[in-house]
């Protein structure tokens, strides 16, 4: 969850500086933005693989169709 907050703040800074870009956020035209890359650095005590691919999508759960 923290990484989503960080990414949001970075994009706010990127698009909030230029008034034209800030206005473009609310228009219908697609606004291209830099693709984020996420890295997790581990310095804990427990054993951990040297390299492991984590998927952000694994942090979400499916909502049954009947709820909406």
Q: What is the per-residue pLDDT for 57?
A: 84
pTM of this structure: 0.52
8-27: average pLDDT: 81
Query: Residue 67: pLDDT above 70?
Result: no
Q: Which residues contact 10 (CB under 8 A, 6 or more apart)?
A: 36
Query: Residue 64: pLDDT above 70?
Result: yes
Domain that holds residue 53: 2-67
Number of structural domains, the chain? 1
Percent helix, strand, coil in the chain (nearest 5)?
40, 0, 60
Compute the distance between CA of residue 4 and CA of residue 33 in angstroms, rounded to an integer. 15
């Amino acid at each position: 969850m923290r990484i989503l907050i960080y990414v949001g703040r970075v994009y706010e800074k990127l698009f909030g500086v230029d008034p034209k870009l800030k206005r473009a956020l609310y228009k219908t035209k697609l606004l291209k933005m830099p693709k984020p890359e996420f890295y997790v650095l581990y310095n804990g005590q427990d054993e951990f693989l040297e390299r492991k691919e984590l998927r952000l999508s694994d942090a979400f759960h499916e909502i049954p169709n009947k709820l909406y």
